[in-house]
Amino acid sequence: MGRTAREILKVDVNEVLKDLLKAYADEWLAHYQYWLAAQWIRGIDADTLRPVLLKQSMDELKHAEKLAQRIIQLGGKPVMEFSQLLTTSRCGYIAPPEDPTDLRKLIEDVLRAEQCAIRFYSEMVEKYRLTDVVTHELFEELLEDEVEDEEEWERFLAKL
């Protein structure tokens, strides 16, 4: 990070990095959760849900990518050990339901992940509004996407 970029930060950079790392871990876990669900599910509606899960899974990976770039820009390191993703994450990971045809449970779990992200990111948008504009905008962008994701899954759930 350049000198001026450091100057405009009105907050401890380690504090920002801690939050960015939590989000980074969440996005990786959501990516994996949705991708695995897409492989696992069976049943009448599975073919409808599968492409949506795969698309959103890739979107979450792109979120992780943006967070990784901001972390590195701030002089930090993304989570280097895979085993630390879970302990770093804020929203955690929910494994697919035992029963691959239980699509209701699956969608409810996806919704849980999205709702946690929405709460976390809106908290971050507020937190960095005046202290780190770049991080603030990054969280705003992610928040917008998660809001759309939630809406999409609520629609699916209503149709099941």
Instruction: Give the nearest distance from C-beta 63 to Fe ion in angstroms.
Output: 4
Task: Report which of 132, 122, 114 is spatially closest to residue 17, judged by C-alpha positions.
Answer: 132
Q: How far is C-alpha 37 from the geometric centre of its chain's CA atoms?
A: 16
DSSP 83: T
| Contact with Fe ion (CB under 5 A) among 20, 23, 41, 60 | 60
- Spatial contact of 107 and 94, defined as CB atoms under 8 Å apart: no
Host H or E run for residue 138: helix 133-159
Q: Binding of Fe ion at residue 109 (CB under 5 A)?
A: no
Nearer to Fe ion (CB atom), residue 19 or residue 60: 60
In the complex, least distance from residue 119 CB atom to Fe ion, rounded to whole angstroms? 13
Q: Which is nearer to Fe ion, 101 or 134 (CB)?
A: 134
96 backbone φψ class: left, alpha, beta (φ>0; ψ -120 to 50): beta
Q: Does 149 bind Fe ion (CB under 5 A)?
A: yes
Residue from 19, 109, 132, 146 that binds Fe ion (CB under 5 A)?
146
- What number of chain residues touch Fe ion (CB under 5 A)? 5
Q: Which is nearer to Fe ion, 19 or 149 (CB)?
A: 149
DSSP 39-66: HH--STTHHHHHHHHHHHHHHHHHHHHH
The answer to whether 100 and 130 are in contact (CB under 8 A) is no
Q: In the stretch 19-58, what mask flags binding to Fe ion with x, by CB under 5 A?
A: --------x-------------------------------
Residue 145: CB minimum distance to Fe ion, A: 6
Is the alpha carbon torsion for 70, 132, 6, 75 positive or negative? negative
The contact pattern for Fe ion, residues 62-81, with x = CB under 5 A and - = no contact, is -x------------------
Which spans of this chain sit near Fe ion (rule: CB under 5 A)?
Answer: 27, 60, 63, 146, 149
